[in-house]
């Protein structure tokens, strides 16, 4: 008889959220206490630097906060000393000198790190935490490309994800060779996304795909107690379908929703940049992913990474790298760490069958239906374009536009909307650039205004924008889907 109840499952999940929130509140409190202490000690430049850094790294203005009257760092330390003394009959030791060998190790590895990215810092003795600092200084929205992301600040768990990655790097620094540590730092810089910031409601349509992905990955992370034995979660999930249909968005939404660490690997980065070292890179990547678990590894453009082994005159390094991915995926199946491999491919029929077998769950991401297209037009070109200083507006018949765009992908529609808005802006740019006065306007005596974007403007762009996917291509997906998709 099961002892689980809806409320216990829900509260286990809520508890995890609560822990994350508490960790972040504690982190913020520490920063404010430090700020106050720096000010009291007249270390004003450091105080300013702390405010600036916190703003850029965490989108938080700690200068707007103040320590409560009965609190300060010295009091907290004093109280800790007293309680420690009472418990252990001795005073706590807070600091010690850095040993020469520790200093030397930190200096050399930091110098190598900096050299690797072509930026040796001025003061190597301070560059001990370069990798950490870089992690913390990232903008939460970098690496997003054209994905429509929200600007309401980092989610609460961003800090704990960064914390997990920092701890994993620290383990590498202490227990693995310098070469492995360097690879780990590279992965953390170039492939680790602490905040993919894509939410389910950013993804229009795709209800079936969203449901399947939630069942396969999101719920097992949220309610692990339910997914045991035969219900143990799938470790590998393949998202396939025409280009630009939102496969990457789906993977990012999983990571955002589950608050998992997210590693974004594209074939081009691995194959071209690390050809010689790609095998090692994959090993370190999976190892880091386990250390940061729960984690999603997103392998994009899997077809270029995982074509049939031994085909044509395949490069030896590339063959070894693929074999390493297969070995690592087998390793995941045997371990208890929650690491999901999400892979995306536009050419599933070109995939290595051994890999397809390991990606047990296959989800077909189809072209958007009419309702999804309508929702996309409304999201990309709403009545008032947000965050635009010109206050651009639209008057669009979304139903008609959705009707006219059958066969277009989400990415096609995004491109059309962007081009339409750009055309409206071009009229302004022409006036601004018109030094000869050929347009007949003088921008000096006019307020800048743009006409609302109307349906005909979008239709004009539509006339010369054809969908990326062809009928023939779609038929091939259908054939593959029938053969392989497991629903
Ligand atoms: N369902 C959707 N809802 C909202 N936007 C979408 C959707 N599908 C695609 N887009 C838009 O298209 C862009 C590209 O989508 P995405 O990169 O996720 O597609 P993809 O399937 O991974 O493409 P590819 O196979 O070419 O890598 C998104 O950033 C978004 O602007």
pLDDT at 193 > cutoff 90: no
- Report whether pLDDT(247) > 90: yes
Identify the residue with better confidence: 136 or 330: 330
The pLDDT value given to residue 343? 92
Q: How far is CA 221 from CA 16, 160, 211, in A?
A: 11, 16, 15
Say what the alpha-carbon torsion angle 157, 159, 161, 162 is, to the nearest 10 degrees.
160
Q: How confident is the model over 144-170, as a mean pLDDT?
A: 56
pLDDT tier at 125, thresholds 50, 70, 90: very low
Mean pLDDT over residues 329-352, rounded? 86
CA of 69 relative to ligand 1 center, distance in Å: 51
pLDDT at 185: 86
pLDDT in tens, 8-25: 667 777 777 787 788 888
**DSSP reduced 3-state for 41:** coil
Distance CA 448, CA 471 (A): 44
Better-scored residue on pLDDT, 152 or 263: 263
The residue among 373 and 319 whose pLDDT is bigger is 373
Q: Please say if the pLDDT value at position 210 is more than 70.
A: yes
pLDDT at 96: 83
Task: Give one DSSP letter per residue of 75-97, joined into a string.
Answer: HHHHHHHHHHHHHHSS------P
Which CATH number describes the domain made up of 370-434+446-468?
A: 1.10.8.60
For residue 380, name the pLDDT band (cuts at 50, 70, 90).
Answer: very high
Pocket test of ligand 1: the residue of 196, 210, 240, 246 to mutate, having most ligand atoms within 8 Å of its CB, is 246
Banded model confidence at residue 487, pLDDT cuts 50, 70, 90: very low
pLDDT at residue 314, as a whole number: 61
In the structure, what pLDDT confidence band is assigned to residue 147 with cuts at 50, 70 and 90? very low
Identify which of 149, 184, 189, 186 has the alpha carbon closest to the alpha carbon of residue 59. Answer: 149
Task: Check whether 275 has a pLDDT greater than 60.
Answer: yes
Rounded to the nearest whole angstrom, what is the distance from the C-alpha of residue 52 to the centroid of ligand 1? 34
Q: Which fold has domain 158-364?
A: Rossmann fold (3.40.50)
| In the chain, domain spans | 16-92, 158-364, 370-434+446-468
State in Å, rounded, how far the first CA of the chain is from the last one. Answer: 30
Q: Measuring CA to CA, which residue among 10, 60, 1, 6 is closest to residue 30?
A: 60
What residue owns the CA closest to ligand 1's atom 6?
Answer: 410
**In the numeric block, which tokens belong to residue 343?**
């892979």
Pairing mode, strands 261-266 and 192-193 = antiparallel
Query: Residue 113's pLDDT is what?
Result: 44
* 56-70, 97-111, 167-181: range with lowest mean pLDDT: 97-111
The reported pLDDT for the residue numbered 152 is 36
Which residues, judged by CB distance below 6 Å to any ligand atom, belong to the binding site of ligand 1? 146-148, 203-206, 243-249, 344, 346, 368, 376, 410-411, 414
Best probe residue, ligand 1, of 245, 262, 421 (max atoms within 8 Å of C-beta): 245
**Confidence bin at 189 (pLDDT 50/70/90):** confident
pLDDT at 85: 84
pLDDT single digits (tens) 345-368: 988 888 888 888 889 889 889 899
Q: Do domains 158-364 and 370-434+446-468 have the same CATH topology?
A: no
Question: Of 238 and 60, which is predicted with more confidence?
Answer: 238
Average per-residue pLDDT for the chain? 78
User: For residues 414 and 471, what is the distance between their CA atoms, to the nearest angstrom?
Assistant: 21
Higher pLDDT, 373 or 215: 373
């Amino acid at each position: 008889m099961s002892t689980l109840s809806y409320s216990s499952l829900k509260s286990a999940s809520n508890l995890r959220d609560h822990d994350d929130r508490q960790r972040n509140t504690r982190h913020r409190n520490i920063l404010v206490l430090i700020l106050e202490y720096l000010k009291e000690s007249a270390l004003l430049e450091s105080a300013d630097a702390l405010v600036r850094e916190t703003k850029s790294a965490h989108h938080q203005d700690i200068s707007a906060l103040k320590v409560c009257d009965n609190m300060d760092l010295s009091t907290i330390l004093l109280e800790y000393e007293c309680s420690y003394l009472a418990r252990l009959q001795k005073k706590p030791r807070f600091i010690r000198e850095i040993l020469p060998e520790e200093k030397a190790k930190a200096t050399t590895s930091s110098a190598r790190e900096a050299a690797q990215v072509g930026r040796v810092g001025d003061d190597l003795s301070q560059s001990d935490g370069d990798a950490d600092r870089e992690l913390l200084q990232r903008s939460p929205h970098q690496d997003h490309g054209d994905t429509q992301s929200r600007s309401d600040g980092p989610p609460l768990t961003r800090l704990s994800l960064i914390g997990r990655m920092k701890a994993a790097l620290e383990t590498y620094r202490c227990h693995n060779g310098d070469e492995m540590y360097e690879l780990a730092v590279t992965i953390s810089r170039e492939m680790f996304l602490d905040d993919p910031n894509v939410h389910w409601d950013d993804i229009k349509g795709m209800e079936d795909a969203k449901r399947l992905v939630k069942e396969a990955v999101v719920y097992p992370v949220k309610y692990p107690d339910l997914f045991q034995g035969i219900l143990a979660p799938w470790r590998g999930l393949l998202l396939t379908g025409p280009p630009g249909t939102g496969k990457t968005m789906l993977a990012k939404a999983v990571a955002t929703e589950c608050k998992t660490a997210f590693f974004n690997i594209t074939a081009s980065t691995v194959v071209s940049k690390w050809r010689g070292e790609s095998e090692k890179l994959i090993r370190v990547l999976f190892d880091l992913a386990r250390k940061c678990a729960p984690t999603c590894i997103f392998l994009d453009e899997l077809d270029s990474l995982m074509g049939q082994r031994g085909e044509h005159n395949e490069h030896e390094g590339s063959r070894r790298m693929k074999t390493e991915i297969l070995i690592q995926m087998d390793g995941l199946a045997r371990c208890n760490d929650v690491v999901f491999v999400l892979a995306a491919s536009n050419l599933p029929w070109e995939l290595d069958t051994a890999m397809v077998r390991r990606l047990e769950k296959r989800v077909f991401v189809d072209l958007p239906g009419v309702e999804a297209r309508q929702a996309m037009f409304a999201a990309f070109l709403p009545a008032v374009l947000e965050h635009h200083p010109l206050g651009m507006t639209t008057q669009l018949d979304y139903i008609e536009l959705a009707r006219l765009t059958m066969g277009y992908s989400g990415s096609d529609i995004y491109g059309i909307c962007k081009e339409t808005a750009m055309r409206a802006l071009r009229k302004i740019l022409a006036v601004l650039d018109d030094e000869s006065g050929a347009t007949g306007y003088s921008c000096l005596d006019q307020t800048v205004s743009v006409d609302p974007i109307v349906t005909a403007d979008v239709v004009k762009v539509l006339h010369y924008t054809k969908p990326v996917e062809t009928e023939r291509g779609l038929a091939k997906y259908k054939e593959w889907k029938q053969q392989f998709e497991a629903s």
